[in-house]
Amino acid sequence: MQTDQKQFSLFERFAVVAIILLVAVIAIQNILFSVRASEERSLNNATVEYAGVKNMYAEQRQTVPPSLVRANGAGAINTRNTPIH
Structure pTM? 0.51
8-62 pLDDT, tens digit per residue, is 999 999 999 999 999 999 999 999 999 999 999 999 999 999 999 888 888 777 7
Of 54, 55, 76, 52, the C-alpha closest to 64 is 76
pLDDT of res. 16: 97
What are the distances in angstroms from CA 46 to CA 39, 50, 51, 52, 85?
10, 6, 9, 10, 29
